[in-house]
Structure 1
Amino acid sequence: MKLTGNTVFITGGGSGIGRALAEALHRLGNKVIIAGRRRHRLDEAIAANPGMEAIELDITDPASIERAAATLIADHPELNVLINNAGIMEPDTVAGKIDEALLTSTISTNLLGPIRMTSALIEHLKTKHNGIVAYTSSVVAFVPLAVTGVYSSTKAALHSYALSQRFMLRHTGVRVIEIAPPWVRTELMNSEEAELAMPLDEFIAETMAILGTDADENVVEAAKPFRANVGPGEHDFVNGFNEQALALFGGG
Structure 2
Amino acid sequence: MQTTGNTILITGGGSGIGRALAEAFHRHGNQVIISGRRRQTLDEVTSANPGMAALTVDMTDADSIKAFAEEAVRAHPGINVVIHNAGIMKQETLTEAPDYLAAAEETIATNLLGPIRLTAALLPHLLNQENPAILTVSSGLAFVPMAATPTYSATKAAIHSYSMGLRRQLVETPVRVIEIAPPYVQTTLLGEHQANDPTAMPLKDFIDEVMEILTTQPNAEEVIVERCKPLRYAAESGNMDKMFEIVSGLRH
Same fold (TM over 0.5): yes
Q: Look up the equivalent residue of 1:23 and give its one-letter code.
A: E
Q: Which residue of 2 aligns with 1:224?
A: 229
CA contact (8 A) 2:81 2:134 kept: yes
Q: Which residue of 2 aligns with 1:10?
A: 10
Residues 1:121 and 2:115 aligned together: no
3-state SS, counterpart of residue 108 of structure 1? helix
CA RMSD of aligned residues (A): 1.0
Q: Look up the equivalent residue of 2:121 and give its one-letter code.
A: A
In structure 1, C-alpha distance between the alignment counterparts of 2:95 and 2:134, rounded to whole Å: 35
Q: Which residue of 1 aligns with 2:243?
A: none
Unaligned ranges ≥5, structure 1: 233-252
CA contact (8 A) 2:183 2:227 kept: yes
Q: Which residue of 1 aligns with 2:176?
A: 175
1:175-214 Cα shifts (integer Å, max 9, x gaps):
1110000000001112101110000000000001112221
1:57-88 Cα shifts (integer Å, max 9, x gaps):
10011111111111111111111000000000
Q: TM-score w.r.t. structure 1 length?
A: 0.90
Q: Which residue of 1 aligns with 2:89?
A: 89
Q: Is 65-74 or 146-155 further displaced after alignment? A: 65-74
Q: For 1:126-205, what aligned pairs fall within 5 Å after superposition?
A: 126-190=127-191, 191-205=194-208
How many pairs are equivalent? 232
CA contact (8 A) 2:23 2:49 kept: yes
Identical amino acids, percent of aligned pairs: 53
In structure 2, C-alpha distance between the alignment counterparts of 1:88 and 1:74, rounded to whole Å: 28
Q: TM-score w.r.t. structure 2 length?
A: 0.90
Q: Which runs of 4+ in 1 moved over 2 A?
A: none
Q: Which residue of 1 aligns with 2:79?
A: 79
Question: How far 1:231 moved relative to its partner?
Answer: 2.2
In structure 2, C-alpha distance between the alignment counterparts of 1:181 and 1:57, rounded to whole Å: 23
Q: For 1:19-98, what aligned pairs fall within 5 Å after superposition?
A: 19-98=19-98
CA contact (8 A) 1:94 1:147 kept: no
Unaligned ranges ≥5, structure 2: 238-252
1:149-174 Cα shifts (integer Å, max 9, x gaps):
11000000111110100000000000
